[in-house]
Structure formats: C-alpha cells, structure tokens
C-alpha cells in the first residue's frame, strides 16, 4: 500500500511516495517556482536516475498532475497508475485548537484550515491549495491532514497561556500552540523505542535543531510543553529567527529606526537568530562555525548564545516535568553536529548526563551518545516527518 505525502508551500510542493509494507521511499521530489517563471520539477525515483522537468506550472493543480505523471511515467516512474496510491497525507501547519490529532479531510476540515489562515498566514493557504489540487486531480482519493500544531494540543493551560488579558485568548485564540509537532511526536516515540523506555512512565525532551528550532517536553508520549508559541518565532535562537525576546525591544527599535511593525517582524523572522547575531555571516551553522574557528568574535557569541538557550530550555523542561529520562537531538544541527551537542551537554552534568565523546562523533543515524552510567539517556535520532505523516495517514484509512 503506497501513501503519497505532500508538503505544499506557496510556490513549492515537496512529495514522497512511501510503500507502507516496508516504509521504503519509492520516489521523492520537489516542484519549485509554481505560479512564477522558471517552474521546475525534480523527481528522484529510488534506484533510477534523477529526472528534471522544466515546464510551466501556472498553479498547484498543474504541479500535482506533473508529479503524478512523473510517478507513473514508464521510464522515471515507480507505479503503473495512480490507482496504486491508496491515500494522500498532507502536512498542514496550523490546526488551531480544533485538532489534537490527524484527520481525514472533508469540507469541515477544510473550513478549519481556512479559519486558521490568520494564525498560519505563510503556510495554511498553501496547504489548502495543495489539498484542493489533489482533490481535483484525484477525485475521491482519501486525504489526511497532519497538523504541525497537533502534538502541542495536549499542553496544559498553565503552559500554553500568555499572561496577557484573558479576552485575547477567548476572542482570538491567542495562546502558545507549538510547531514541528510531527517531528517532536515522531522523535519522542522513537526515543521510547530506541532507549527501551517504559511508554507509560517516561519523561522525554526532544531538541529539534534545524534551521527552525524548538524543544518539547513530553510525559508518557504526551506533550506538556514546547518552545514555539502563537507563531514559530518564540523559543530558541534559530537560523534567522530571534526566538524569545522582550517585546519592548520591538517598540524601541521602531522608534529609533522609524520602522513599521511589519519591517521589524521581517527582521525578527528573517534577519535575526544566528544570522543576525553573527553580524550577518550566515544562517547556516557550518559557515558560522568556520568563522568561529577563525577567531571571529560575533560568530563565537552567536554559537555560545545558541547553546546557552537550548541548555536553559532543557533545564526549564526538566523542572516542568520534575525530572527527565531521555534527551534526543534531531534535525540538521541536532543530527549532524556533535560539537554543538557536546557543548549543550556540558551544561547538563548536574543532571548526571555523561556523554561518550566517541559516540557523539556519529551523525545521521540513531545513536546513543550517553555512556551506560549516565543518569539521563542522550540520543541522536534523525527525524522523518514524511514517514510520520505517511504512518498517520495509513492509521486513518485503516
Ligand atoms: P530545516 O528547518 O530547513 O528543515 P534542517 O533540519 O535541514 O533545516 O537544518 C538546517 C541546519 O542544519 C543548517 O543550519 C545547517 O547548517 C545545519 N547542518 C546540516 N548539516 C550539518 C552538519 N554536517 N554540521 C553542522 N550543521 C549542519
């Protein structure tokens, strides 16, 4: 049984076709520049050569059709026809407070995705376009929505409420939602399996350290806190996002520089974080580390501040759960960068964390990086959001 996983952006569409018998990726690819000049499809079938198609894609419907054509093409394809696709799983960023689980898509679900356009302005409209494009090209095919916010829905009120007048929560749903939920959910389950923890008695912290970055705390597989908020801007220092900040900074810079709120938020989302702190070197960790190794002060400060913020969140979440059994690192930096992992763990010796320096050199696979005597198990666990979406979709079509 094959599941097609789709992650739709405003001008892009990423996909994977996964055979759920063995969870093997049959093909994956990306449509770029949808609706603008220079549209391009890059299709990678497993065991065959990459196929690139440069053809106009005026809208997502055309893009979905080209993806299906590529998947069933006699030469580059991996299936005979779309009948071999059992269902489609969509990544949907914001489910608001309506969904704490994945759902099969019907008109009501689409209404909820629409109602949450304000909360996920960059993603939800594109996610809905992808869903409707699939409906048009594959009418009647079951489709599931897997929400990035679903995992965070189990947070208690004390964790998700902001200390601002209650009416803003009541009227507009202003609260913390958390994002990267599919990844946090997948990795926390993987942690239970890999570390052989008791699923009914375990406290886990997952550090998703990619370009976007967030930390989650979960007890017995249920999220109790996570670092992103109403939007993905809150929490850790990220590639280009500031993370936590005194809101007064916004007014202060507005006044000093004569900038509008939109301009400031653009700076906080796209020009801050590692990029901003390093004085503009890069949002990519590898570039900033190179500069750090060459003695660049701003690069050093950017990395020190990044590590410090992650360590503080781990400390906070350990307190929130009154203990921690396992800490897992995932995503680009978390999976690949043993130096950053090691620096974060230096703050955690008070928890009895002991890192195996040799194991911590590994990357890109499930690795236990703590020693057997460490009081907390520390792991590298690669995330796989597409597989998580496919598994959720399969569970829904049963
Ligand atoms: P996204 O949030 O875009 O999915 P990723 O999870 O791909 O991001 O993470 C991107 C980040 O991972 C970048 O900052 C990049 O520098 C970092 N990264 C990727 N590979 C390595 C590596 N080998 N060493 C250090 N950092 C890495």
Ligand 1 center–CA 286 separation, angstroms: 8
Nearest CA to ligand 1 atom 3: 211
pLDDT at 364: 87
Q: What are phi and psi of 380, to 5 degrees?
A: -105, 125
9 lines ligand 1 (CB under 6 A): no
Domains, the chain, ordered by start: 2-147 (3.30.420.40), 198-380 (3.30.420.40)
333 lines ligand 1 (CB under 6 A): yes
**pLDDT (tens digit, 0 to 9) for every residue of the chain, 398 residues total?**
999 999 998 899 999 999 999 999 999 999 999 999 999 999 999 999 999 999 999 999 999 999 999 999 999 999 999 999 999 999 999 999 999 999 999 999 999 999 999 888 889 999 999 999 999 999 999 999 999 999 999 999 999 999 999 999 999 999 999 999 999 999 999 999 999 999 999 999 999 999 999 999 999 999 999 999 999 999 999 999 999 999 999 999 999 999 999 999 999 999 999 999 999 999 999 999 999 999 999 999 999 999 999 999 999 999 999 999 999 999 999 999 999 999 999 999 999 999 999 999 999 899 999 999 999 999 999 999 999 999 999 999 98
Ligand 1 center–CA 209 separation, angstroms: 8
CA distances from 10 to 38, 42, 124, 159, 188 (A): 15, 17, 9, 32, 30
329 lines ligand 1 (CB under 6 A): no
The DSSP line for 152-198 is GGGS-HHHH--SS-HHHHHHH--S---S-HHHHHHHHHHHHHHTT--
Ligand 1 center–CA 352 separation, angstroms: 28
For the CA of 213, the closest atom of ligand 1 is 2
Q: Two tokens at 22?
A: 């063995």
Residues assigned a catalytic role: 148
pLDDT at 19: 98
Can you tell me the distance from the alpha carbon of 45 to that of 25, in angstroms, rounded to the nearest whole number?
Answer: 9
> What's this model's pTM, rounded to 2 decimal places?
0.94
361 lines ligand 1 (CB under 6 A): no
239 lines ligand 1 (CB under 6 A): yes
For the CA of 239, the closest atom of ligand 1 is 14
Which residue, among 204, 186, 142, 157, has the nearest Cα to 377 in the 3D structure?
A: 204
Based on the number of CB atoms within 10 Å of its own CB, is 366 exposed (0-12), middle (13-18) or buried (19 or more)?
middle
116 lines ligand 1 (CB under 6 A): no
Ligand 1 center–CA 305 separation, angstroms: 17
DSSP-derived letter for residue 361 is G
Ligand 1 center–CA 215 separation, angstroms: 16
335 lines ligand 1 (CB under 6 A): no
Ligand 1: which of 182, 187, 210 to mutate, most ligand atoms within 8 Å of CB? 210
Ligand 1 center–CA 69 separation, angstroms: 32
Q: What are phi and psi of 293, to 5 degrees?
A: -65, -20
Which residue, among 281, 262, 272, 231, has the nearest Cα to 116 in the 3D structure?
A: 231
Nearest CA to ligand 1 atom 1: 211
334 lines ligand 1 (CB under 6 A): no
């Amino acid at each position: 049984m094959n599941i097609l996983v789709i992650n739709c952006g405003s001008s892009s569409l990423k996909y994977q076709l996964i055979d759920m018998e063995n969870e093997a990726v049959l093909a994956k690819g990306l449509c770029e520049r949808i609706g603008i000049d220079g549209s391009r499809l890059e299709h990678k079938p497993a065991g065959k050569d990459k196929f690139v198609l440069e053809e106009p894609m005026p809208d997502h419907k055309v893009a979905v059709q080209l993806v299906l054509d590529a998947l069933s093409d006699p030469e580059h394809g991996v299936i005979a026809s779309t009948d071999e696709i059992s269902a489609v799983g969509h990544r949907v960023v914001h489910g608001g407070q309506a969904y704490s689980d994945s759902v099969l898509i019907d008109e009501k679900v689409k209404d909820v995705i629409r109602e949450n356009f304000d909360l996920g302005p960059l993603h939800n409209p594109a996610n809905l376009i992808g869903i409707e494009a699939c409906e048009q090209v594959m009418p009647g095919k079951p489709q599931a929505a897997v929400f990035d916010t679903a995992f965070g829905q189990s947070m208690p009120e004390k964790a998700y409420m902001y200390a601002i007048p209650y009416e803003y929560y009541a009227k507009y749903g202003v609260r913390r939602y958390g994002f990267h939920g599919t990844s946090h959910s997948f990795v926390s389950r993987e942690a239970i399996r890999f570390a052989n923890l008791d699923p009914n008695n375990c406290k886990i912290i997952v550090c998703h350290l990619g370009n976007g970055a967030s930390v989650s705390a979960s007890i017995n597989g249920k999220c109790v806190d996570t670092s992103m908020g109403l939007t993905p801007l809150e929490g850790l220092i990220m590639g280009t996002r500031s993370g936590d900040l005194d809101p007064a900074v916004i007014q202060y810079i507005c006044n000093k520089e004569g900038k509008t709120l939109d301009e400031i938020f653009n700076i906080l989302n796209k020009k801050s974080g590692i990029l901003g702190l390093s004085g503009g070197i890069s949002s990519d960790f590898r570039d900033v580390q190179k500069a750090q190794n060459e003695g660049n002060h701003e690069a050093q400060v950017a990395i020190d501040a990044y590590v410090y913020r992650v360590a503080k969140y781990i400390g906070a979440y350990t307190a929130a759960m009154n203990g921690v059994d396992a800490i897992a690192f995932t995503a680009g930096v978390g999976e690949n960068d043993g130096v950053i992992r090691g620096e974060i763990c230096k703050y955690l010796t008070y928890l009895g964390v002991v890192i195996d320096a040799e194991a911590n050199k590994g990357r890109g696979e499930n690795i236990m990086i703590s020693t057997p005597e460490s009081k907390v198990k520390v792991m590298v666990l690669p995330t796989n959001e597409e597989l998580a979406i496919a598994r959720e979709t399969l569970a829904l079509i049963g």
